[in-house]
Amino acid sequence: MTAGPDQAAIDELVGAARAGRPRAVARLISAVENDSPALRPLMAALAPYTGRAHVIGITGAPGVGKSTITGALVAAYRTREWRVGVLAIDPSSPFTGGALLGDRVRMQQHALDGEVFIRSMASRGHLGGLSVATPQALRVFDAAGCDVVLVETVGVGQSEVEIAANADSTLVLLAPGMGDGIQAAKAGVLEIGDVFVVNKADRDGVQSLIREIRTMIAMAERDPARWKPPITKTVAASGDGIDELVAEIDKHRAHAEGDGSWQQRRLHRAAAEVESLAMAYLRRRVRFHRGDELQDLALSVRDGKLDAYTAADQVLTSLREGARPTTQPSGS
């Protein structure tokens, strides 16, 4: 065993997080972000307390109003006295500034609410990137007693599908007059939507956008026994339609719990989480233990002396020879 934080300190931190103390939650998310050496025992200690939170993914092109919808949903869930987590995922650099500042302004009304945990997470610097860090952060919110966790992507460039993979219910946001209908179809987001939200529904073009979405849902030819995604209209800035949206999300949960897809989806998520973590450690091993060899091979590939398949073979062969059967951090 490596020397790590003692069990008493871990128990204390986990206890404080479970009691909903914001600083403890923040420290745990930081441990995820920094890939702290204490992360393994911490996640092991948190595991028994996970599985309760309803994770809601919020996807959509920039400008459709994701942050505003998120803020409105926080307010709606707070009227139920639910504990709410918000995870804003910024796949670009951690210091782009504008986007996150914008979110913070919209979230200001909840900033002093001790039952609302708001955290943004950037993709850089994590072991395995967001595919590893996101589920761990969600587990922290979950163990901290959140009834619902809203996951929102900030900015473009991130796979919406990847975010949806972490959610129990995925909202796909669109807005009239942005050419989003057809664009959304290209990215395959229609396939991941559990609830479609036409935001800015006070603008022209709402009906034609709804028709377009309806047509595309019909084209997807889903199994009739499966959940048929509803289309809800909102004006998030004024709160119009938010109660109806919340009701549709509730219905989706009830339906998914009823037909078994809720637990099935969570099983897929857990498998993806374990696989991502295993792959992240393998990638680290390739980079840190076979880094020089990789550079030499890359030089040969670049110069046409070797093909990439033969080079990959060599990496795998020497990885196996130097393999260590553990994911323990190795001083790197």
Q: Which of residues 235-254 bind its own copies (CB under 8 A)?
A: none
The smaller minimum CB distance to its own copies, of residues 113 and 159, is found at 159
Which of 34, 36, 158, 261 is in the footprint of its own copies by CB under 8 A? 158
The smaller minimum CB distance to its own copies, of residues 81 and 292, is found at 292
x-or-dash pattern for its own copies, window 78-117, by CB under 8 A? ------------xxxx--x-xx------------------
Give the number of C-alpha atoms closer than 13 A to the C-alpha of residue 287, restricted to the C-beta side.
10
Q: Does 208 bind its own copies (CB under 8 A)?
A: no
Q: Output the DSSP codes for 214-238.
A: HHHHHHT---TTS----EEE-BTTT
Q: What is the CA radius of gyration of the chain?
A: 22
The runs of H, that is alpha helices, within 2-92 are 7-18, 22-33, 39-46, 66-79
Largest CA distance in the chain: 66
Q: Does 174 bind its own copies (CB under 8 A)?
A: no
Piece of the chain touching its own copies by CB under 8 A; list 69-77, 108-116, 193-201, 317-325: 317-325
Q: Which of residues 259-278 bind its own copies (CB under 8 A)?
A: 263, 266-271, 273-275, 277-278
Residue 6 in tokens: 């003692």
* Cα separation, 30 vs 120, whole angstroms: 11
Q: How far is the CB of 73 from its own copies (least distance, A)?
A: 21
Q: Which of residues 17-56 bind its own copies (CB under 8 A)?
A: 39-40, 43-44, 46-51
**Phi, psi (5° rounding) for residue 257?**
-65, -35
Q: How far is the CB of 261 from its own copies (least distance, A)?
A: 14
Q: Does 295 bind its own copies (CB under 8 A)?
A: yes
Q: Is 328 helix (H, G, I), strand (E, B) or coil?
A: coil
